[in-house]
Chain A
Amino acid sequence: MSETTEHSQTESSTPKLILPDIPGFKNIETYLKHGGYGDRLKKVFSMTPVAVTDEVKKSNLRGRGGAAFPTGLKWSFMPKDNARKRYLLINGDESEPGSFKDRQIFEFNPHQIIEGMLIASYAMQVDHAYLYIRGEYAYWYRLMEKAVADAYAKGFIGEKMKEMFPASGDGVSYSVDITLHKGAGAYIVGEESALMNSLEGGRGYPRVKPPFPANVGLWGQPTTINNVETIANVPIIMEMGGEAFSKIGEPKHPGTLLLGLSGHVNRPGVYELPSGTLLTDVIYKYGGGVPGNKKIKMVIPGGSSMPPLRGDSLEGVKMDAESLKLVGSSIGTGGIMVMDEDTDIIHVLTRIAKFYWHESCGQCTPCREGTGWLLKVLRRIDQGQGAPSDIDLLHDVAQNIEGRTICALGEAAAWPVKFTVQRFREEFEKKVSTNNVPSSPNRVHSLRVGGLEPVQVHVPIVVRV
């Protein structure tokens, strides 16, 4: 009983900026009652666009989509002094396994996303912004459709903005349109340049960078791409001021983070906590610990593409970009996956490898071929047919994908394998056997199925020097 009380007390003391505990907050009336749109936007539109960007810079807000890039800085890359048409594109393609935070914002606080888009659009003088939502979120897409329609009807989006917020002094009146766009099932579309290609009506192929989107983006025009959670922070920053925001949580990665907790935990779900919260607190204090009080074998702290951590090295690990970097992982999208002591790590890793193999768009050879090689080798280890040499082979293949592809899917596929081999070698050693001898000189493609003639094809594995 006393534990429950303590639990709720701690929670009420943490700031809830993105998912406030207000019933009906998703309705525009309730949102307005709590200070949304109206006066806050009036204040923003009375500032210069540069001043708005500066406020976001001051907040030290960093992107929540995986790379943790400073948002204000990203905005400032947009050309200011020419008349080219420009776009804002909000990435709601949330597809990283273990990540389900944006979905909660769509459901519980859609108007803060819209208001963030309005502010960002004004700061970059965009007159058309797009919000791309993954196809699987059809239900949440409809919630957003309603929210956008409501905001249009009230005059907060579109032409009516000019009446709602008349220009004062020397200022000119401003308006922006917002269009929703539904994806159709492709993980890679969450990569920003693939997202642009998808919105433009093509296959989701990532683009070669440079040129960067701020110069050549959607339809060849300057474009800024922000994550849904990132943009939902913007109205809060304008409300409390950049400086106040920068003091929440870890100074180098301030604000609250939406941490998606899943796997072997008693209370899975999305928790909004200040950055820098201890990982063990997220799992035990908020998530209620592991079922059956089992020990933790492995935790993936930021979505399936991020390097996993050993269960015996979680003490003192904090959830923010810099702290996780120090322990050899990354905040990613904040999707925490917990695995107990009975988990078959190789089986999990094989599933992860299958995912990246399935999702590789196939443009770059190292990723297209390498993801399949990883899967093949992992499958045979998983099925008890792996040889001891396969362990280094996996590491080797992963090493040869990383850094050799157009987009970060290469790293996303390579990192889990590479770091699991490094950090959980004993798990692999348990599953391989010296009785398993490669049946062909081709180390990757050897299937070691009894009775089959060895296939004499030699594909050398390039070893990085």
Chain B
Amino acid sequence: MFNQEELQEIETLRKRYPEAKAMVLPMLWRVQEKQGWIDDAGMEAVAMVCDVPKSHVWGVVSFYTMFFDKPMGRYHVQVCTNVSCMLNGGEKLYAEMKSKLGIGHRERTVDGTFSLEEVECMGACGGAPMIAVNETFFERVTSAEASDVIDSIRSSNTIPAPKHIVQMPELSPAANE
């Protein structure tokens, strides 16, 4: 699972914590970044590196929503439907994404390009409604813009740059016109 170079990095990281167990989350992130999800072999490797039973690692994977215990799309589309987004049309946006992608909550398209998740608050309430693709936030999106993001990924195989949202109206009020 981990090559020689990565094992070196892990040794460096190990010095930041008094116990190896604290590396469980960082190691799981590493596995997921590498292969898109956390499989059995990944959990085994994390268990070995962090000196914990494999059952503990599985317990952690199943507790945190951002760890995937099954393959997900290369582009993970997240739509927030929590209060602030809901008040600004988040539920409608989620329904539209469902039908556009033809998949439901934590499902993946057949070609493996997209997966979808109805997420809880991602801390973009001032930019509601929002969707996120992998780590990129698209805030104050309209239905058409959200749809364009998907189309753009389909055709170019990259995540388009989000239009810049100034979340601090007091710094530059004009940006919110």
**Interface positions of A (Cβ within 8 A of B):** 4, 7-8, 11, 19, 21, 85, 94-100, 102-104, 108, 128, 134-139, 177, 179, 181-187, 198-204, 219, 260-264, 267-272, 286, 300, 304, 335, 337, 339, 343, 348, 351-352, 355, 358-359, 361
Contacts and interface: CB of A to CB of B under 8 A. Distances in A.
Given A97-B120, A203-B59, A351-B83, 19 more contacts: A21-B171, A85-B18, A100-B124, A100-B125, A182-B25, A182-B29, A186-B65, A201-B24, A201-B50, A202-B24, A203-B60, A219-B18, A267-B176, A268-B128, A269-B126, A286-B169, A304-B82, A304-B121, A343-B87
Contact of B83 (A97, A135, A219): A97
B59 to A, nearest CB: 6
B66 interface: yes
Contacts of B169: 267-269, 271, 286
Given A100-B167, A267-B176, A94 B81 contact: no
B146 interface: no
A135 B119 CA distance: 13
Given A104-B167, A202-B56, A270-B168, A97 B121 contact: yes
B102 interface: no
Interface residues of B, number: 51
B21 A200 contact: yes
A98 B168 contact: no
A348 B65 contact: no
A262 B128 contact: yes
A91 to B, nearest CB: 14
Interface string B81-122: 111101110000000000000000000000000000001111
17 contacts: A97-B121, A135-B64, A139-B135, A181-B26, A184-B64, A186-B64, A201-B23, A201-B50, A263-B87, A264-B87, A268-B125, A268-B127, A269-B168, A304-B82, A304-B121, A339-B87, A358-B120
Contacts, number: 171
A138 B135 contact: yes
A286 B52 CA distance: 51
The 9 A-B residue pairs whose C-beta atoms are closest, nearest first, are A185-B66, A184-B64, A201-B24, A262-B125, A185-B65, A201-B21, A97-B121, A262-B84, A138-B135
Interface of B: 16-19, 21-26, 28-29, 50, 52, 56, 59-60, 63-67, 81-84, 86-88, 119-128, 132, 135-137, 166-171, 173, 176
Q: Taking each of B26, B83, B88, which has the highest tally of chain A beta carbons within 10 Å of its own beta carbon?
A: B83
A177 B170 contact: no
Contacts of B168: 19, 104, 108, 269-271
Contact of B173 (A8, A264, A348, A361): A8
A371 to B, nearest CB: 14
A191 B18 CA distance: 22
B87 A348 contact: yes
A322 B146 CA distance: 42
Contact of A204 (B56, B63, B126, B127): B63
B64 A100 contact: no
B64 A185 contact: yes
Nearest to B59: A203
Nearest to B51: A201
Nearest to A189: B64
Given A100-B124, A183-B25, A201-B50, A263 B173 contact: no
Given A21-B171, A201-B24, A136 B123 contact: yes
Q: Taking each of A186, A351, A359, which has the highest tally of chain B beta carbons within 10 Å of its own beta carbon?
A: A351
Contacts of A204: 63-64
A203 B63 contact: yes
A361 B64 CA distance: 10
A344 to B, nearest CB: 10
